[in-house]
Structure 1
Amino acid sequence: MALTLASAAALLREHHLLREIIQNDVWTDDAARIDAADDPFAAITYDTRKVTTGTLLCCKGRFKAEYLEGIDDKGLQAYMAETDYSSVTDAPGLIVTDSRKAMSLLSAAFYGRPQDELTVIGITGTKGKTTTTYFTQALLNAVSGGKAALFSSVDNCLDGHTYVESDLTTPESMDAFLMMREAADNGMKYLVMEVSSQAYKVDRVYGLTFDVAAFLNISPDHISPIEHPTFEDYLYCKRQIVANAKALVLGADSMRADLIRQDAALAGIPVTTFALHDADDKGTDANVTARPMDVTHSTFRITADGADLGDFHLSIDGDFNYLNAAAAIAIAHAAGVSLEDAEPLHAIEPVRIAGRMEQFRDPQSNTLAIVDYAHNFASVTALLDFVYERWGAENPHITLVTGSAGNKAYDRRKEIVEAAQDRIANFIFTAEDTDTEPFIDICMEMQGYITNKDVASTVISDRPTAIMNAVYDARAHADRFNILLIIGKGDERWIKEHNKHVPFEGDDRVVERMFGL
C-alpha cells in the first residue's frame, strides 16, 4: 500500500510519535483536514537537495529552517520534523516527538516493508561481527542458490554476489530499507546484517524485528562523549537486539551472558548457544562448538547438539575465526537451515575478507606482515594470542603499526598499548581515522601510555611512510624472524580527516608494493 500523509499520520500515531499536523494556520490531529492527504508520496528523502515533486522530507539531526528556503518550488509534498517549519514552507508538517524513530517507520512503510519478504538476521558484538556476517552469508548462499544479501562495515551486497564498499556498519534507516527493497526485488531470501550499538543508540533499526539475532560477545569499547558515556550504556544498546528478535544466538562465553539470557527469557524467544572448546574438547557447554584440530592448517571440528559435523578448514587464520564459524552455523540453523547435511556448511571455508587477517611474506627478508582490522583491547589481544600460538616458538621480533580513532573511543588508545606492550618489540604509531583531532596528538598520547621500558616506539603520522619504515627496519635485520602487525584500517582506501574521506592507498596495497607482490 502506498504511503500517504494520512497513512503516515496513522502509523506515527500508532507508535505514539505524532504530536500534530501543521499546515500554515491549520493545527490538527485529523489528516483529513489537510488537502491531498490521501495522495501517495512519490519519493522519500532526508536530503533537501534531493527533494522533487511529491517528496516526503524527513528532517533529522541538526536540521535548520534555512535548509527549506525555496523548497516549495521543488514540489515538496510534506515534511516530518520535531519542529514546526510552517513559517518557511506551505507543505504540511508531521510534527513528531522523535524524528529518527519516525524516519525509520516511515521509510519501511514507503518501501513496502521489504523486511517482511526476507529472513532478516542481525549480528552484534564487540568483535567478530564482520567475519561472522560473511560466513553466514556464504552458508546461506550455499543453501539458497545465492539468495543471501549482506550489510556489513566492509561491503553491502544486494544480489548475493556483487559487493559495494559501505560507509557505516549499520546504514541509516532510510538507506537500509531502500537497500532491503532492492534486495527483495532481486529475489533475495535472506539478509544478513551487522548491527552496531550506534544503530540502537540513534534508532537506525527502530521498528525492525530480526528473525534471528546473534549476540557474539561484549567487552568495553566505543566509550566516549559522542558514542557511549559508559560501558553499561554500550551494553544496554547492544542488548536491545534481543527484545527485537524472534530467536537469539548467543556466545556462551560472552561477558554478561546470564543477563542476555534473562533478556531472551523476558522476550519469550529461544536461545541457541555456541562456544570454542580446546583441543581436548573442554569448554563451556553449548549447542554448537568448534574445536581446533590442526592449528597450522586452520583446521577445526564442528559439533552441533552432540553430533559431529566433521572437520573444516578456513582460509582465514585464528582460533577466534573458528568461533565465528561456529556462530555462523548456529545462526543458519536458527534461521531454519538443516544441519543433517553438512556439505553446504563447508561454504564458509573459502571465505576471505579483505583487510581481515591477511598475510604477506616478504621475498627479500624473513618477514611476515599481517594486515587486520583489530582496533581495541579484545581484538589486539586475540591477534597477539594467534601470533604467539602459531609462531611463538620462533621468537619473532614483532612490530605493531597502529593508531586510533579521533574524537571517540578514547579508551582504545591506552588499551591497545596495554594489550601489546609486553608482547611486542616495537610500536609505530601512525594516522588512523580522525574527526578534528590532529593525527600527531593521538599518536603522542598513545606513546605516552607505554610503561614497559623495553619496548621501542616511534611516531610517524603519515601512514604509508609508517608501514614502509616497518618494512625497511625488518629488512635491515634479515637475520631474525620479523612479524609486522598493521592494524586498524584493513583494506580501506581512505582515511577520515575532518569528516572527509581522504584517498589512501590501503595498508594491504602498501605492503604488496613494498614486497613486490
Structure 2
Amino acid sequence: MSTRPYTLTLAKAAQILTEHHLLREIIRGEQWASDPYALPDADTPFTALTYDTRQISADSLLFIKGRFRPEYLRDADDLGLAAYVAESAYDECTQSTGLIVQNVHKAMCLLAAAYYGNPERDLTMIGITGTKGKTTTAYLTHAILNEYSHGKAALSSSLHTCVDGKTFTPSHLTTPESLDAFRMMRTAVDNGMRYLVMEVSSQAYKVHRVHGITFDIGAFLNISPDHISDIEHPTFEDYLYSKRRLIANSRTLILGADSTHIDLLTQDAKQYHTPTTTFALHDPETGHLTHANVLATPDEQDSSRFTLSVDGTTIDGGSQEPMKLAMAGSFNELNAAAAAAIALHAGVQPHDPAMRAMQNVQVPGRMERFGSGNLIAYVDYAHNYLSTKTLVDEIGHHFAERNPRIILVSGSTGGKAIDRREGIVKAAEGKVSSYYFTMDDPNREDPQSIAEEMRSYVKDPEAITHVVLPRERAVEEALQEAAQYAENRLNIVLVIGKGSETANVVNGKRIPYEGDANVVRRMLKTLHIPNDFND
C-alpha cells in the first residue's frame, strides 16, 4: 500500500513548532526570522524526512540529533537539502534553512506525525510498559486483537514489527525513533489496520520518541530497578519517572496490582483522571491474593492451566475449559491477565473466542523449553533482577517435587545497565548450583571483566562458578555438566539474557552468534536427549 506523505511545508512546520513552544528562530544564511514567510520557499512541500545525512534527497528535511558532526553536511546542499531542524545553527555548513528548536526529538515527533497525516488518530493505540513482561504481553494482546479484528492488528515490539496483521519483520529498538514509528503507523493504516500494540520503553519517554502521542489504552505491568547507567537513567527515580509518563499520556490504564510503588502509580492515575483497571495473579497456594479487577487463577487440578476472570465473570473465550499457554510459568499467566484486561477495554467480550488466541503464542526466546526426563533446558530473555528472580523462583516452584539442580548461563551488557550484573546473581543466589558467566553484548567493555565481576557477587559457598567467554561454549559446557548429574537427579539449565538474538555486540559491531536455542538443540542431539516435554 502507498505511504504517500501528507503536505508538510516550512510554513506548516514552523506553525506546529510555534504552537508547541519549541521554535526559537528560523535561520537562512545571514537572515534570521520568526515568520517563515520572511524567507523564500515557505510553501514548498518537503518530499522526504530523515535523520540520516546519507539519505538526504531533493527538498528533504533533516533532523540533526545525537552525536552529529558538522562535516556530515558537506554534500547536503548539492544533494538538495531544503531545511534542517536542530538545537543550534549550522549556517556555516549549509545554505539550507534552519529551524532552530528547544528540543529536536520533540520536534521530530510532532513533524513526523504531521508529515504522515497523523496516522495514530486512525488506530486504537495500545502502549505497554514495565520492567518485565512487555514483549510477552504485547504478543498475547496482538494475538487476541488480530483474531478479533480478522487480521487488522499491528505490532511494534522489541522483537518484531507487524504492519499487515501477518508478516513479522525484525525490530532494532524496543520503541522505534519517532520518524520510523510514524512511517510504520502510516503503512499500518494504509494496510487497513485498526489496532497498534506497541512496547513503550523508559528511553522512549526519556528521549521523547513518543512525545505528543496519547495511548487509548496504556498498560503499566510492574517496576524494578533496571537500565541504571550514565547513558540511560542515572537513578532508579529517573527510570521510574520515565515509565510513569505512560500514565499521564493514556486515556485508560491497565495496572499490575502487585507492582512496587503501587500507591504512587495509583496517585498518578487519579491526578491525570485516568480510569484504571487492575490485574493480578490469584493463587492461594503461593499466597498471591491481591485483589484486582482481572485475575489469573491457576487450576487446582492441573498447574499448567488457569482461569481468567473480570470482576467475577469468567473470561472463557466461549469454552468452559481452563486456559493453557504455550509458554509455561505463572508470570506468563499474569501477562495473560494483562493482555485480557487490555483486550476487554479494546472491545473484546469475555466469551469471545478471540480471547483464546493467546493460547497458541510462543514468543521467540521467552520460556522456550527443550529436552526431557532429567535434563531440561530453558532459553529465556531474563536479563535483570526481577526477570531472573521470577524465572528461577518459577522453576523452583514448578519442579519442587523433583528437587531440581539448576545451572545458570548468563552474562550482562557492557556500558549500560551496570546494576544488572549484581542483580542477576542476587536473584539466583542460593537457588542455583552452578553458574556459567559468559558474553552478552559487551560492546566496548572487556567481556572477561564483566564475567569476573558477576562471578564476584556469588556468595553461596556451595555454588560452582565458571567463566567461559565464547557463549556457545558456555552453553555447551553447562549442558554437558547437566548430563553428568542427570542420572540421579533432575538438572535444569537456564540460558538467559539473549532470548532469540543471534549476534553479540562487540566494539560497536554486531558479531554473528548461533543463538541460544540453536546451541541447545544441537547439544541435545549430541547428548542424545530427546526434545520432548514428557517428564
Above 0.5 in TM-score?
yes
Q: How does 1:253-264 map to 2 (within 5 A)?
A: 253-264=258-269
Aligned residue in 1 for 2:3: none
Q: CA deviation at 1:145?
A: 0.4
Aligned residue in 1 for 2:104: 99
Q: How does 1:293-312 map to 2 (within 5 A)?
A: 293=299, 298-310=304-316, 311-312=322-323
SS at match of 1:250: strand
Aligned residue in 2 for 1:369: 377
2:441 counterpart (407, 427, 433) = 433
| Over 3 Å off, 4+ runs | 279-282, 294-297
Q: How does 1:406-421 map to 2 (within 5 A)?
A: 406-421=414-429
Aligned residue in 2 for 1:349: 359
**Cα distance change, pair 244–508 in 1 and its aligned pair in 2 (3 A):** same
Which whole-Å CA distance do the structure 2 matches of 1:70 and 1:355 have between them?
43
Greater Cα offset, 261-270 or 450-459: 261-270
Give the gaps of 5 or more residues in structure 1: none
Whether 2:464 is the aligned partner of 1:456: answer yes
Aligned residue in 2 for 1:500: 509
**Cα distance change, pair 295–317 in 1 and its aligned pair in 2 (3 A):** farther
Which whole-Å CA distance do the structure 1 matches of 2:300 and 2:29 have between them?
72
TM-score, normalised with respect to structure 2: 0.94
Whether 2:35 is the aligned partner of 1:30: answer yes
Tell me if the contact between 1:434 and 1:499 (Cα under 8 Å) persists in the aligned partners. no
Which whole-Å CA distance do the structure 2 matches of 1:458 and 1:82 have between them?
49
SS at match of 2:315: strand
Whether 2:234 is the aligned partner of 1:234: answer no
Q: CA deviation at 1:256?
A: 1.2
Give the total of aligned pairs.
514
SS at match of 1:510: helix
Q: How does 1:38-49 map to 2 (within 5 A)?
A: 38-49=43-54
Q: CA deviation at 1:90?
A: 1.0
SS at match of 1:328: helix
Which whole-Å CA distance do the structure 2 matches of 1:385 and 1:69 have between them?
56
Q: CA deviation at 1:499?
A: 2.1
Q: CA deviation at 1:88?
A: 1.5
1:292 counterpart (295, 298, 302) = 298
SS at match of 2:338: helix
Q: CA deviation at 1:477?
A: 2.8
Aligned residue in 2 for 1:469: 477
Q: How does 1:145-160 map to 2 (within 5 A)?
A: 145-160=150-165
Tell me if the contact between 1:279 and 1:292 (Cα under 8 Å) persists in the aligned partners. no
Q: CA deviation at 1:478?
A: 3.4
Aligned residue in 1 for 2:61: 56
SS at match of 1:22: strand
1:461-505 alpha-carbon deviations (Å, 9 max, x no partner) = 100000011122222333132110000001111111122211111
Whether 2:494 is the aligned partner of 1:488: answer no
Q: CA deviation at 1:421?
A: 2.3
SS at match of 1:349: helix
Whether 2:337 is the aligned partner of 1:326: answer yes
2:140 counterpart (120, 130, 135) = 135
| Cα-Cα RMSD | 1.4
Which whole-Å CA distance do the structure 1 matches of 2:96 and 2:433 have between them?
64
Q: CA deviation at 1:337?
A: 2.4
SS at match of 1:495: strand
**Cα distance change, pair 295–501 in 1 and its aligned pair in 2 (3 A):** farther
**Cα distance change, pair 488–295 in 1 and its aligned pair in 2 (3 A):** farther
Which whole-Å CA distance do the structure 2 matches of 1:498 and 1:303 have between them?
49
Whether 2:117 is the aligned partner of 1:112: answer yes
* Residue identity in the other structure for 1:223: I
SS at match of 2:323: strand
* Residue identity in the other structure for 1:314: L
Greater Cα offset, 474-483 or 173-182: 474-483
Aligned residue in 2 for 1:68: 73
* Residue identity in the other structure for 2:313: A
SS at match of 1:382: helix
Q: Percent identity?
A: 52
SS at match of 2:390: helix
TM-score, normalised with respect to structure 1: 0.97
Which whole-Å CA distance do the structure 2 matches of 1:414 and 1:484 have between them?
20
Q: CA deviation at 1:151?
A: 0.7
Tell me if the contact between 1:434 and 1:497 (Cα under 8 Å) persists in the aligned partners. yes
Q: CA deviation at 1:336?
A: 2.6
Greater Cα offset, 470-479 or 159-168: 470-479
1:17-44 alpha-carbon deviations (Å, 9 max, x no partner) = 0000000111000000111110111000
Which whole-Å CA distance do the structure 2 matches of 1:296 and 1:110 have between them?
53
Q: CA deviation at 1:294?
A: 5.2
* Residue identity in the other structure for 1:421: E
Tell me if the contact between 1:296 and 1:390 (Cα under 8 Å) persists in the aligned partners. no
Tell me if the contact between 1:297 and 1:313 (Cα under 8 Å) persists in the aligned partners. no
Q: How does 1:380-419 map to 2 (within 5 A)?
A: 380-419=388-427
Tell me if the contact between 1:56 and 1:77 (Cα under 8 Å) persists in the aligned partners. yes
* Residue identity in the other structure for 2:11: A
SS at match of 2:67: coil
1:388-444 alpha-carbon deviations (Å, 9 max, x no partner) = 122122122211000111111111111111111200110000000122111111000
